[in-house]
Amino acid sequence: MPRRKNQDDHQSNLPFAQTPAERALARAEQEAAEAAAAAKAHEETAHNDGVGGGSGGGGTPPEAPIARHYKKWFLEYASYVILDRAVPHLDDGLKPVQRRILHTLWEVDDGRFHKVANIVGATMRYHPHGDASIGAALVGIAQRGLLIEPQGNFGNIYTGDDAAAPRYIEARLTPFARDVVFNPKTTTWQLSYDGRNREPVTLPVKFPLVLAEGAEGIAVGLSTKILPHNFNDLCHAAINHLQGKRFRIFPDFPTGGIADFSEYDDGQRGGKVKVRARIEQRSKYLLAITELPWGATTTSLIDSILAANTKGRIKIKHIDDNTAEAVEILVHLPQGADPDQVTQQLYVFTDCQTSISPAACVIENDKPVFLGVSEILRRTTDRTVALLKLELEIQLGELEQQWHWDSLERIFIEERIYRRIEKSQTWESVLEEIRTGLQPFVKNLRREVTDEDIVRLTEIRIKRISAYNRFKADEQIKKIEDEIKQVKHHLKHLVAYAVAWFEKLQEKHGKKHKRRTQYDEIEQISAASVVAANQRLYVNREEGFIGLNWRQHEFVVECSVLDDALCFMADGSMKVARVADKVFMGRDILHVALLPKDGDPYFYTMVYQDKESGKAFAKRFQIGGVTREKLYPLVPSEGSKVLFFDVAKAEASMPKKLTIYLSGRCSARVKEFEFDLSELTVSSRGAKGVTVTKYPVRTVKRA
């Protein structure tokens, strides 16, 4: 029974420092005390109002009782969600709902399957949060197959299909769960939420179950994500730890795939795991996805491939999903496609490659702690050793007790002590006669004879005395002595016993837990290097739009969906944007081109009429660094007009001379002249340039 705490105790300790039962009890006591105090304050206030003749005494009104409840409600709620809902306990690796499901299965276990609906209903005696959460948790455990053996449609981890209704499916404990998870003699018990039943605080699990099963949960203010690990790897790592050797463990996902653990960082916060689907090339134009990255289903994977195809990032013909017991997604490619390039595109643009961020958080001593998976394995292995020691000590005590009783019974029968009680008239005299008869033989026993021992001797039936076989009794005692000797040897060599325990466990249950995930270094693939140029860029110069696959407008160039388009407008502005179905760049587009990924190498020549000064200027420039979707002015004043624009691949090929034609209405005597550009240097895009003329220009042509 949890220790009762007073109100001061409850207020001076954080909720993490108490067990759930203690917190509930303390909270109830606090609420009762606050209600009593509020009632007393209300009575005093009413009395003072009656005596003083109103509320004009100037005192501060008492705080409403309900207001005090809201001062700590968030902390208590956060504590409850963290401890009792979302985060697994380090000792057994289970969340409360999982622990209660397994405890219920153990209570009803008879070797046969049980309806999941019945299991859910029985579990609600311990878990008062509805049947949906219990059923979902049970299906999740059964799908992993380590603790619960399913029968029926439990869904499919590959396709994401849901399980059948609880009334149609059945489950029972696995042999591994019976061997490792339960032992009433070493279990710490507490009362259930309504006080009608006993439930375990934690189950005495003798295995790093939290790493084998994995865990994921979102609480208030923190979350946990522990990736699943391979059964045999954990056994090997536990043995290495017990033997003082170094070890490393990496996750093993039920869906297989390829993973890069170079940045795993022992499963701590900030680490990262890259996971890939396994893609095979079946023929020249057929790819097969046979294993999934962890966290993806065939449905989500196919949707991501179709979305990438729609956006033009990859090009496929169609997809067939043949997944049943094993994953098989067939990706048919169009004629002329390169299977190797498409494979790379699938990794870059779809869910065929994803990244997982682990954050191993567990409950230890009623507090959430973040640990690396290596430290979790060390602590759970040490707990396994402690549980094995406790079991041996209990077994030793039981054997010594049995040896004591068998020895007393042997003395009682062989020395015919039972005849001493034939003339006894009272119960006290019977006990005294037996005690006196045993006195000469007490020195051969390992402990003193108690009243309970004597009473037990009186309960031996005459039939057993008459059928007593001294040889069999000696053999039984000898067998018990051998067992005692063996248990003491195990206690003396506890580490070796624990190593043998893990070896036996692996030999018995490890054959069906072969590693599925291959770990390998995954190189970073540049999206720009694998994207296909399977789009066509068009431009509507007058209205100022660019877009993909507009057959009714002017074709510009073949491109990919990752390309950037560069546009120069007649008003002297410039803009860069990612190509898309339709993008507004600016009216009266003079020049449009794709911006190279490594920077624009081209040289530009521009003559423009400045709106503010009225002069015409000429300049040569390169654009330099730019930001997408930002409008860059290349002229000093708004309303200016570009008269001449030229693009050259090299500085030597830039125009040397221009013919300037002035407006016929200007006052200049010479209306046509040549302008030498050879003296101009290449400057930045924001440069003003050199003056060509102060008069309005009608047109400019290459000389």
- Residues with a catalytic annotation lie at 168
Helix (H) or strand (E) holding 330: strand 329-332
Longest dimension (CA), the chain: 157
**Local structure of residue 444 (DSSP, 8 states):** G
Contact 679, 654 (CB under 8 A): no
Among the listed residues 319, 259, 255, the one whose alpha carbon sits nearest the alpha carbon of residue 287: 319
Return the amino acid letter for 570. A
3-state SS, 542-558, equals CCCEEEECCCCCEEEEE
User: Residue 320 forms beta bridges with which residues?
Assistant: 330
Taking the mean position of all CA atoms in its chain, how far away is CA 385?
Answer: 28
3-state SS, 336-357, equals CCCHHHHHHHHHHHCCCEEEEC
Contacts of 277 (CB under 8 A, 6+ apart): 257, 258, 289, 291, 292, 293, 296, 301, 346, 352, 353
Return the amino acid letter for 589. I
Q: Alpha-carbon distance 223 to 357, whole Å?
A: 11
3-state SS, 33-46, equals HHHHHHHHHHHHHH
Q: Alpha-carbon distance 73 to 145, whole Å?
A: 39
Q: Alpha-carbon distance 203 to 16, whole Å?
A: 20
- 3-state secondary structure (DSSP) of residue 211: helix
| Cα–Cα separations (whole angstroms), residue 253 to 288, 295, 303, 513 | 20, 9, 22, 11
C-alpha gyration radius of the chain:
41
Contact 90, 41 (CB under 8 A): no
Alpha-carbon torsion angle 291, 294, 296, 298, nearest 10? 20
Q: Alpha-carbon distance 398 to 78, whole Å?
A: 44
- What is the number of other CB atoms lying within 10 angstroms of the CB of residue 5? 18
Could you give the angle at the alpha carbon of 677 between the alpha carbons of 674 and 682, nearest 5°? 160
Residue by residue, DSSP assigns 492-513 as HTHHHHHHHHHHHHHHHH-TT-
Could you give the angle at the alpha carbon of 590 between the alpha carbons of 586 and 591, nearest 5°? 100
